[in-house]
Each structure stands twice: as structure tokens, then as C-alpha cells.
A and B are shown apart, each in its own frame.
Chain A
Amino acid sequence: MVRKQKYSFWGVLLTIAAAMAFCFLYAPLLIIILYSFNDASVASFPIEKFSLKWYHVMWENESLFEAMHNSIWVAITSTTLAVLIGVPAAYALNKYEYFFKETLKKIILTPITLPGIITGVAMLSFYPLIGLNISLTAVIIGHTTFLLAIVVSLMLNRFMQLDPFLEQAAFDLGATPISAFFHVILPNIRMALIGAILLCLVLSMDEIPVSYFLTARDNTLPMEIYGMMRRGVTPEVNAISTLVFLFSSATILLAIWLSDRDRQN
């Protein structure tokens, strides 16, 4: 007996809602990508002529390149710092027992839940107190702070899944803590670590609120784009946005793929 597939009212409604959500998420992005290839100076539809004109214009915009350079520098530096501090922190949070451990865990993870604007304002008022003027260095420290929360939470999760006896077995077989970390722990958390690094790079590249308060002369890329927008959406902005979008999506997809592969192993 073949049972007829019935479409329930709520099922249909849910599908429509989901489709609309996707639409609102991705349609604007698609439009931007389309417009970036539009030859005309004014955003208009239908597109009469496709060209790479705005990519050429973008290519010649030096301040945009400067900003891109700054962004990459900030992303790489703050990610490196966040990993160097965050991985050992997550390791210690997982391994050792001390009475203020839970509190410490919450303190490290709080920046994730705080709105970026609050973190930004707080840093803006705090950094001068410790003699740090707003600059690219301040931006790097700001980014490191919130990336640290990301790295710690992702890596803590991974460490918790890791069999604690693996490390003990390494010690048992004569490995010092350093050797055990590099030969046994690291290979087993490698994928999660790469995933965390990629996520950090993307988040730092896209970040606005903290950068907004801490940037002096040297703009990061999102800040530069934001600045350009004040003169209206130029097709040039569409071109750079398309590139940033592609970079971000590729990185995120890579991170997802790597963490999936890690789980399967």
C-alpha cells in the first residue's frame, strides 16, 4: 500500500518562512555581486552592460589597498596572539581544578555576549589610562581580546572531548609535558585549531564596532568601506564587498569542512 504524502499546513508555512529567511539573507548579497559587474555608475536595474570596470577602479584606489593591508595585518597579528594565549588557557581550564575555575571561564567568555559597541567604548576609555593611544596597535589588542573568547570557547570544547588518558599515556611512555603536547595533544586538536584560526581571521577582517572606536589614521578595510559609503554606494564598494564576501565564505566553508573531517576521525 502506498501512502500518499500529505502536506501539512504548518509544514508548508515553515518551508515558506525558511525560504524567506534565506532570501533576506542572501538576496542583498547576490544583488551586490551583480551590481559589481554593472558598467553603469548608478545602481540600476536591469543591468545593461556587464564589465569589470569597477574592479579596475578599485584596483587603482590606493587607500583601499592600504586599508586591506592594515586589515590583514590586524587579523593575522590578533589571531596569532589570541591563539598563543587562548590555546594554553583552554588547556589549563580543561585540565586543572581550582576553586575559581568556573568564574574564570565565565570572565573569559563574557566578551562574546557583550555588544561590540560596549567593548569598543570601554576600550576607548581604558586604553589611554594605560598610556595606549588609539592606533592600529590598540585595534590589534581590542581584536585579540574578543578573539580570545572565541579561541578559548572552541578549544575548550575540543579539549573536553579529548580522552584525558591520551596525555597520561604519553607521559607514561616517557614524554615530557612539552613533548606530549606537540606529539599527542596538538595532532588531535589540529583541525579544531585550524577552524578556530580561520574563524578568527574572518571575524577580525569584518569587525567594525571595536575598530571604529580605536582606529586613528590607519583604517581597516570595513572602516574604509564605511567611509566610502558616506559618499553613497559607489559601484566600487560593490566590487570590494564581493571580494570580501568571497573571501569570508571560502574561509568559513574551509573551517566547517575541516571541523567535520576532524569529527569523523
Chain B
Amino acid sequence: MTILELDQLDKYYGTNHVVNNLSLTITEGEFLTILGPSGCGKTTTLRMIGGFEAPAHGRILLKGIDISSLPPYKRNVNTVFQQYALFPHMTVSENIAFGLHQQKKDKAAIARRVGEMLEMVRLKGCESRKPQELSGGEQQRVAIARAVACDPDILLFDEPLGSLDLKLRKQMQTELKNLHRELGKTFVYVTHDQEEALTMSDRIAVMNGGVLEQLSTSEELYYYPQTKFVADFIGETNILEGKAMSADLAEIQGVIVPVPVNNYPVGCDVQLFIRPEHISISPKAGRLKGIISDMIFVGTNRKYIIEIPSGQRIIAAETTLHIPIYALGQEVWIDWNPGKASLFW
């Protein structure tokens, strides 16, 4: 069931078109991440859902009702802010209870709910501490508890893990994912960290320059990018330049290779995107010849850097064997499964 629908949203800052005709629907209970480089309009989109920015055009429908002109305090969505924005003059308990007080809940109900929330984020015993007496991770958990306490339709996260160190960030990622499973609530999460997006989300909306590039699952995004930007932005990839020959053939580095079916004009410049793990190396035969110029051991796999005659260096990832099977300077052939490559022009 659709819980939130963004319908042709536009937003300008001066002449800067920060969100451009953005439409997407979010299913109830889903963990959706908006991913993109800084300045791509992802935070602005989140702030429009939260009610902190008004769209120039378009509608925001929450459970089918247009909320685009409602102020934040009339929307049943809650945000976990980037720097948490905990109220410094209030204790942990008072912070969590703030939203409930605004809803004019009775005292007993508030106390019960605050207790539940403290339990949920494992902060029992910190009730009467002030936010500034807590560690970054603990403050983060208070911010989550405060947002969840009001039982919103949707929880919004604005790069909430950005200021934590790497280890804590990984830990919080797992916690957030578990929390999502336990609560069954809709999460809309904004980040520029693709790994974070790939690990946590049910679906990812990749934005670039205010435009929605692709909305799909992590796997689809990784294996079947729909735009050049997505293919380049997500993960590591090899880009081979060439020319379109027909609907399913292209000339790459002087070799005619099968490519995904397309309708690009014959003779136009194209780029073939191939993931390192989809490139296979063989000592005898393949599509392109090259020389092993470097080897990098990264634990789970071994990366071979192969220099092809044009001078370009192709990265191939092979599952780790204890000993490298190829030697530096060895002449090899590389090949790939055409079905797993993407072609753009």
C-alpha cells in the first residue's frame, strides 16, 4: 500500500533548480533511501516531506491526503536530524516526551511511552542526563527515540550517521535496520554514502542534479543501472569507449562485441560499463588482449589491473586464491558476459 507519494515536485533556490520534477511513491513499511552526491537535492526533498521547505510545484500525498501546504507540526512525520538537534535544556526523558506533551497525552501514558522508548534504544538509566553528557552514539539514539515516540506515519532520517566514526556508523546501520524490522514503520533515509544505502535499504532512489536517476532495489541498481550516472556512481566499474554498430553490437577497442539491445544511432559514441567481478581473465582466449600490470589483494578478492593496448587499465576482480594465478607482465585475455554489461551513449 502506498503511504507517501511525491507528485512532480519542483524546488528552486534562486535560479538553482534543486529538485526537478521529482515523482516517486513509497510503500508502507518500506526502507527507502535517497542517495546522491552533495547538492543533488536529496536533503531538500526530505525537508519538503518534513514540511521545512515548500515545493514550488507539485504535491506531497501522505496516505492519499495532500500535505504539501501543511506546516511541519501538522504532519504526522518525524525527523532524525543530521546533528540530532536535541534540546540542550531538557533531560533525555524530557526530550523523548516533548512530542507527546505537544499531543497533550496524559502523564501516565507519556511516562509509559518514554519508558518503552528508553528500552528500545537501550538507554535505561540515562533518563535524567542532559544530551551534552552523552556520547555521539547515545545522542543519536535519543534522537531516534524522540522521533519514534510520537508514532509517526513516516520516519525521516537526514544523514544521521554522518558525524559518527566508522565503527560506530557500521554498528548504528545494523541497529537502524533492526529497528526498522521491529517497528515495521516506513523509513525515508537520506545519505551520500552508497555503502550505507546498499546495506540498509529496501529500495534506493538515486538523485543527481535535482533529478531522480533511478529508483530500484540495491541489486538492480548495482547490476542493472539505468543511467550512466548510476552506473558510474554506484560501486567500481570499468568504462570502455566505443561506437554503436547495430542494435546489439558495438565496436570496442577495434573488436566487435555483443552489447545489450539498444536503439542508439549507428556510429554514435557509446560507453560500455562492466563491473570488475564480471571480467574474467584467461591465459589463452578472450575478447581483448592485455598485460597484467598490477595486483591488489583486498581479502575477499584479488584485483588484477590489466593494461589493454589502448593504454587503458581494466580492473578485474577474482575470488581470492591463496596464490595469484597470473604473474606481473603476463599476457592475458579478458572476457565478460555481455548480459551483465551496460551500454550508454
B-binding residues in A (CB < 8 A)? 163, 165-166, 168-176, 179, 183-184, 187-188, 265
Q: Which residues of B contact A169 (CB under 8 A)?
A: 79, 81, 85-87, 146
In the assembly, what is the distance between CA of A184 and CA of B131, in Å?
Answer: 14
Contact, CB under 8 Å: A173 / B88: no
Q: Which residues of A contact B89 (CB under 8 A)?
A: 187-188, 265
Q: Which residues of B contact A188 (CB under 8 A)?
A: 87-89
| Interface size bracket, B side | 20 to 34
Contact, CB under 8 Å: A163 / B85: yes
User: Which of B96-104, B202-210, B237-245 participates in binding chain A?
Assistant: B96-104
Tell me, rounded to whole Å, the shortest Cβ–Cβ distance linking A158 to chain B.
14
User: Which of B22-30, B70-78, B112-120, B295-303 participates in binding chain A?
Assistant: B70-78
Contact, CB under 8 Å: B72 / A166: no
A-binding residues in B (CB < 8 A)? 50-52, 71-73, 77-79, 81-83, 85-89, 98-99, 102-103, 146-147, 150
Contact, CB under 8 Å: A166 / B73: no
Contact, CB under 8 Å: B72 / A163: no
Contact, CB under 8 Å: A172 / B83: no
Q: Which of chain A's residues has its CB closest to B132's CB? A: A265
Residue of A174, A183, A265 most packed against chain B (CB within 10 A): A174
Contact, CB under 8 Å: A173 / B98: yes
Contact, CB under 8 Å: A163 / B73: no
Q: Which residues of A contact B88 (CB under 8 A)?
A: 166, 188, 265
Q: Which residues of A contact B99 (CB under 8 A)?
A: 173-174
Tell me, rounded to whole Å, the shortest Cβ–Cβ distance linking B123 to chain A.
18
Q: Which of chain A's residues has its CB closest to B104's CB? A: A174
- A170 touching B98 in the complex, CB below 8 Å, given contacts A187-B89, A188-B89: yes
Extra contacts, 13 of them, besides A171-B52, A171-B71 (Cβ < 8 A), are: A166-B85, A168-B79, A168-B81, A169-B81, A170-B87, A171-B51, A172-B50, A173-B99, A173-B147, A175-B73, A175-B98, A183-B98, A187-B89
Q: Which of chain B's residues has its CB closest to A265's CB? A: B88
In the assembly, what is the distance between CA of A170 and CA of B73, in Å?
Answer: 8
Q: Which residues of A contact B78 (CB under 8 A)?
A: 172-173
